[in-house]
Structure 1
């Protein structure tokens, strides 16, 4: 599972913001859930939670999710406490490793924006 190895390698260095007794859900589980959901079109904390419930079997191919999917308020609380520069660095190095692995110059994350079929002024699909 190449995705697991590369994802874990780059995001495992993000500092855990919670104290030990407050860790029901694994940090990497929450990060994988949030990134996967947002890259799939989720636009808020509740969307991320709903994505997790719908895609739990798929997510468990990469991480155990022993405590299942966290509630949206837990996801928000944990993600908001992470250091933005650590997330940015992990994401950039992860994407760079994917580019090297595929030999591509670009990985399109938002095809609608790339094709200009999304109106940023009105925040809706054209």
Structure 2
């Protein structure tokens, strides 16, 4: 694949279409390398994607307990070449995915069968609001899962309401 070619990666680095970030998270070091290009001539079915302007790749290296693991993610995009915007879009995409995962696991949102569209939208807003409160509780009870936080808060909601409102 085009973005797996080391020569192409080198060219993108020289053009400034490369970005590298490093952060410590969840007891591991995550190194992310982003590549972004408008070079899409090689894509056979590029005309099937309306607005396709570029492709990008995220190469993530995870270092944990002496082990090294690599993950590769590929993206098609309507963005012009802009490595900073591309890297923010990739990270933003995964934070949205993470939020949906929390909503499903913590609140079983995928199992919700509310038929009224407005009621479903209102419930979704309430769940997101509750999720933001649960994330604020992280400051006071950092080691609890979201489900356990819900339970702990339900046992004494006024205590946590005071903490969240005073924050």
> Structure 1 length normalisation: TM-score?
0.27
Name the larger-Rg structure: 2
1 or 2, which has the higher helix percentage? Answer: 1
Q: Which has the higher contact order (CA 8 A, sep 6+)?
A: 1
> Structure 2 length normalisation: TM-score?
0.22
